[in-house]
Amino acid sequence: MEQGTDFFYTFGSNPLFAFVLSEGIAQILCTIEWMEGDVHREANWWLYKTFFRPIEGGEFGSFLFALCFMIICWLICRWLYVRKIFIKI
C-alpha cells in the first residue's frame, strides 16, 4: 500500500457500510428532538450551534461540522479495516 492512501483504503474497503452508517447517524441526529421554548429543536442543530458555529461563524462552522461527521464515520470504518472485517453483499 502506498504511503498516504490508507485513509481512502479505509473507506474503500467497506463503502456500503460507510454509506449506511452515515445515513444512520444522520437519521438518529434528526430523530432526537426537544422543545426549546416555542421552538422545535433537533440534535444536529444543537451540535452545530453549540460547538461549530461559535468557532468561526456560518460557512466554516458548517464545514467543521461536516468534517467531524466524516471523521467519526472514518474512525468506525477504520476500526473494521484494522480488524479485517469486510462487509460484502
Let me know if residue 3 belongs to a domain.
Answer: no
pTM, rounded to two decimals: 0.84
Task: Report the domain count for the chain.
Answer: 1
The pLDDT score that the predictor gives to residue 1 is 60
The pLDDT score that the predictor gives to residue 70 is 95
CA–CA gap between residue 38 and residue 36 (Å, rounded): 6
Cell, residue 35:
422543545
Placement of cell 461536516 in the chain: 66
Q: What angle do CA 33, 36, 38 make, to 5 degrees?
A: 110
CA–CA gap between residue 26 and residue 24 (Å, rounded): 5
> Each residue's pLDDT tens digit in the chain (89 positions)?
677 788 889 989 999 999 999 999 999 999 989 888 888 889 988 898 888 888 877 889 899 999 999 999 999 999 999 999 998 87
Let me know if residue 4 belongs to a domain.
Answer: no
Let me know if residue 29 belongs to a domain.
Answer: yes
